[in-house]
Amino acid sequence: EEDGYDLWLRYRPLPQAGRDDVLRQAQAIVAPRSSATVQAAVTELRRGVQGMTGQAPADAAQPRAGAIVLGTAATLPPALLPDGLAALGREGYAVRRMESGETVIAANTDIGLLYGAFAWLRAANTGMPLDRLDERSAPKLQLRVLNHWDNLDRTVERGYAGESIWNWWALPDVRDRRYTDYARANASLGINGTVLNNVNSKPEILTAPWIAKAAALADVLRPYGIRVYLSARFSTPLELKETATADPLAPEVAAWWARKADEIYRAIPDFGGFLVKANSEGQPGPQDYHRSHADGANMLAAAVAPHGGVVMWRAFVYAAENPADRARQAYDEFTPLDGKFAKNVLVQVKNGPIDFQPREPFHPLFGAMPKTPLVMEFQITKEYLGYATHLAYLGTMFEEALRSDTARAPGGLTVAQVVEGAQTPGRPTGMAGVANIGSERTWSGSHFDQANWYAYGRLAWNPQASSRAIAREWAAQTFTREPRALDDIVGMMSMSREAVVNYMTPLGLHHIMGTGHHHGPAPWVAELARPDWNPVYYHKADRNGIGFDRTARGSNALAQYAPAIARQYGDPRTTPEPLLLWFHHLPWDYAMPSGRTLWAELVARYDLGVTQAQALRTRWAALKPFVDARRHEDVAALLDVQVKEAQWWRDACVAYFASVSGRPLPAGTKRPA
Ligand code: GCW
């Protein structure tokens, strides 16, 4: 019975034609003398071929037609060596079916071979013609990292898939097999780093017993090319009572961190570095000592630099003292520091300026810090998009952010290009995804949420990839290769996030969810201690109108974007409709392009969202013949909840906005009796 544990690496028996194709190309495997990484590649190929065909490939010593031959320039016979291999770099690979009948998986390193093996398996699993395979690929970003918000007591902040997969109690002695499966899944996507613990961090994580636990995980993950990182709490030495201050400029503090780094690197020689959330939501930081983010980041960077480590310093900062517009704060604090960060610091920026809302414009820092490498931070776990219950494929959302034009260069400069380092040649590049992984059988809390982990990984490899192509690739491996069913599943995925936007926060609304847990509607909440936590602060609806004026007449957050964008979005007529109320406060009777009033349009959007949620359910029901019974049922049950909660969102929001505006439902609005 299918329970989702195998993720997209299912390797179930293929239909006859596919099976024959795999058997023809994978009769044997030839691999160089083995490192643990090559061993992992060979084991995976064997497992895949055995699963897909029922037959295990033989081991062969010499290349021959019908064999898969893995090798580097040092081990491949010249006739099988692809041209230009060196250009594929440390992690790239070439996979090619030769005229002579061998399938060559070539790379410059063992990790490249592992990635190439997964690429071949992906091709086999998705039904590509293996006798014509000719693929080369190299990652566009260097650091492709998961951020676990996992606490040391095994709870997961904003996690909806059970407790943390890190069984801290049993570590370091017990190395759960699940860690290896986690490594395989990540390596299949090219994810090469993992931050084990929550950014809301604890001092204990940097003490000897915890370093030993992290080291045990690093040992399991290493053969799969995955480095371990830790979230560091800025005040750690002070809280452990090993220094008298945490001031980054105090020599005893810098010395403490340098010693700590030495200690960590003794246990984990390839330790990736630190992720830091400082001076944000109550976390300590350099500003507690009137020092800047750069002072703090550079002090930590100096500690890990001798070992080749990096510091990822988060730009998600906002404070109650800055009540006018929370969306402005990161830009205001960080742009003056451009050029002041050490070489091994990357500033990690959420995709939008508020907080992982169903829709936000791209963060204005992208393109505005040309001397600083910026890491894109996406949230894979669906804190604001219906937890693991609602079907919302985030590939489209990630793609929307990455394809946004920052207009910071003549001819355009997309967010993806910024993240790829277009402005910062020679400096590190990266992407971070807040993981949706837990210890439930499905890993991600639902079958479709696995697609969000998958899409994140594929976009971290290539930020310009197509979210639709990724969805298709994932669904073919996860559910079915039957083309019509696949079209339907991809169609559902592609519209799902827009459905969520429509029934939660249409037309640029944001941050109107329930307090604390962030689930369900609560646009009426107005009495929280901090103004910038109240939904009313964000929608500003009253008798006359609705929306947050971020133009020059309002908070002027718009001025943080390039002039061309500021100009275009300065006028509601030329602002993209999906962002209208993000940037403008407008009267309820404002005439929308549809010919409706703003009020009528808002209600129509909420209705559309509910209709779309219902459509997801109907479309899934029709897919029953193509999906195994258990997983079909699991998804169907969640889609029922989604329809119910879409109605809840719509009804609550429409009722609330009707009450503040004093307007009746537009004529013709249908509601169940
Ligand atoms: O999205 C918000 C979450 C917090 C989170 C914070 C952050 C880890 O509600 O739970 O804390 O962002 O990104 O730091």
Q: What is the pLDDT of residues 562-603, one digit of tens each?
A: 999 999 999 999 999 999 999 999 999 999 999 999 999 999
* pLDDT tens-digit series, residues 235-292: 999 999 999 999 999 999 999 999 999 999 999 999 999 999 999 999 999 999 999 9
**Residue 321, pLDDT score:** 67
Question: Which atom of ligand 1 is least distant from the CA of 277?
Answer: 14
Instruction: Determine the 3-state secondary structure of 67 from DSSP.
Output: strand
Band of residue 301 on the pLDDT scale cut at 50, 70, 90: very high
**Residue 670, pLDDT score:** 81
Question: Which atom of ligand 1 is least distant from the CA of 200?
Answer: 8
Residues 495-517, mean pLDDT to the nearest whole number: 98
Band of residue 33 on the pLDDT scale cut at 50, 70, 90: confident
Report how far residue 652's alpha carbon sits from residue 669's, in angstroms, rounded to the nearest whole number.
Answer: 15
Just list the catalytic residues: 281, 355, 383
* Percent residues over pLDDT 70 in the chain: 99
Q: Residue 73: name the closest of 39, 107, 99, 97 by CA.
A: 107
**Residue 322, pLDDT score:** 64
* pLDDT tens-digit series, residues 405-422: 999 999 999 999 999 999
The encoded tokens of residue 266 equal: 């003794």
Band of residue 673 on the pLDDT scale cut at 50, 70, 90: low
Q: How far is the CA of 452 from the centre of ligand 1 (A)?
A: 18
The CATH H-level (homologous superfamily) assignment of domain 143-478 is Glycosidases (3.20.20.80)
Residue with tokens 């459905």: 499
Sequence-ordered list of residues with C-beta below 8 angstroms from that of 481, at least 6 positions apart, any chain:
14, 15, 18, 126, 127
Q: How far is the CA of 532 from the centre of ligand 1 (A)?
A: 14
Report how far residue 585's alpha carbon sits from residue 284's, in angstroms, rounded to the nearest whole number.
Answer: 35
For ligand 1, mutation pick of 150, 158, 385 (most atoms within 8 Å of CB): 158
Confidence check: pLDDT of 125 > 90: yes
Classify burial at 321, counting beta carbons within 10 Å of its beta carbon; exposed 0-12, middle 13-18, buried 19 or more: exposed
Confidence check: pLDDT of 556 > 70: yes
Contact call for residues 326 and 555 (beta carbons, < 8 A): no
Residue 110 has a CB neighbour count (10 Å cut-off) of: 22
Confidence check: pLDDT of 72 > 70: yes
Cβ of 628 closer than 6 Å to ligand 1, yes or no, is no
Cβ of 382 closer than 6 Å to ligand 1, yes or no, is no
Q: How far is the CA of 149 from the centre of ligand 1 (A)?
A: 9
The encoded tokens of residue 132 equal: 């014509």
The encoded tokens of residue 421 equal: 């380092």
CATH of domain 503-548+585-661: 3.90.1330.10
Residue 405: DSSP 8-state: B
Q: Residue 457: name the closest of 145, 196, 225 by CA.
A: 145
Band of residue 342 on the pLDDT scale cut at 50, 70, 90: very high
Contact call for residues 499 and 175 (beta carbons, < 8 A): no
Cβ of 200 closer than 6 Å to ligand 1, yes or no, is yes
| Fold: same for 16-137 and 143-478 | no
Cβ of 356 closer than 6 Å to ligand 1, yes or no, is yes
Residues 179-187, mean pLDDT to the nearest whole number: 99
Cβ of 277 closer than 6 Å to ligand 1, yes or no, is yes
Q: At what angle do helices 598-622 and 483-504 cross, to 10 degrees?
A: 150
Q: Residue 350: name the closest of 384, 327, 377, 369 by CA.
A: 377
32: left (phi > 0), else alpha (psi -120 to 50), else beta? beta
Cβ of 318 closer than 6 Å to ligand 1, yes or no, is no
Half-sphere exposure of residue 415: CA atoms within 13 angstroms, side-chain side? 26
Band of residue 1 on the pLDDT scale cut at 50, 70, 90: confident
Residues 449-453, mean pLDDT to the nearest whole number: 99
* pLDDT tens-digit series, residues 629-647: 999 999 999 999 999 999 9
Report how far residue 526's alpha carbon sits from residue 542's, in angstroms, rounded to the nearest whole number.
Answer: 13
Report how far residue 158's alpha carbon sits from residue 148's, in angstroms, rounded to the nearest whole number.
Answer: 10
Contact call for residues 135 and 119 (beta carbons, < 8 A): yes
**Residue 233, pLDDT score:** 98
The residue whose CA is least distant from atom 2 of ligand 1 is 355
Residue 274: DSSP 8-state: E
E strand intervals along 167-316: 193-195, 227-231, 273-276, 310-314
Confidence check: pLDDT of 213 > 80: yes
Residue 572 has a CB neighbour count (10 Å cut-off) of: 18
Question: Which atom of ligand 1 is least distant from the CA of 280?
Answer: 14
Mean confidence (pLDDT) of the chain = 97
The CA distances from residue 517 to 150, 417, 492, 500, 501, in Å, are 17, 35, 27, 18, 18
Domain extents for the chain?
A: 16-137, 143-478, 503-548+585-661
Confidence check: pLDDT of 381 > 90: yes
Find the distance separating the first CA and the last CA of the chain, reported in whole Å: 41
Residues found in the chain: 673
Cβ of 383 closer than 6 Å to ligand 1, yes or no, is yes
Select from 3.40.30.10, 3.30.1360.120, 2.40.50.100, 3.30.379.10 the CATH code of 16-137: 3.30.379.10
The encoded tokens of residue 115 equal: 């990635």
Band of residue 56 on the pLDDT scale cut at 50, 70, 90: very high
Q: Residue 520: name the closest of 430, 414, 640, 390 by CA.
A: 390
Starting at the edge strand found earlier in the chain, the sheet holding 67-71 runs 58-59, 28-30, 67-71, 103-107, 93-97, 134-137
Q: What pTM was computed for the model?
A: 0.98
Contact call for residues 31 and 63 (beta carbons, < 8 A): no
For ligand 1, mutation pick of 147, 150, 155, 157 (most atoms within 8 Å of CB): 157
Residues 539-563, mean pLDDT to the nearest whole number: 98
Residue 24 has a CB neighbour count (10 Å cut-off) of: 14
Cβ of 213 closer than 6 Å to ligand 1, yes or no, is no
Q: Any bridge partners for residue 374, and if so which? A: 347
**Residue 281, pLDDT score:** 92
Report how far residue 654's alpha carbon sits from residue 505's, in angstroms, rounded to the nearest whole number.
Answer: 11
**Residue 439, pLDDT score:** 98
Q: How far is the CA of 453 from the centre of ligand 1 (A)?
A: 18
Residue 418's H or E segment, with its range, is helix 415-419
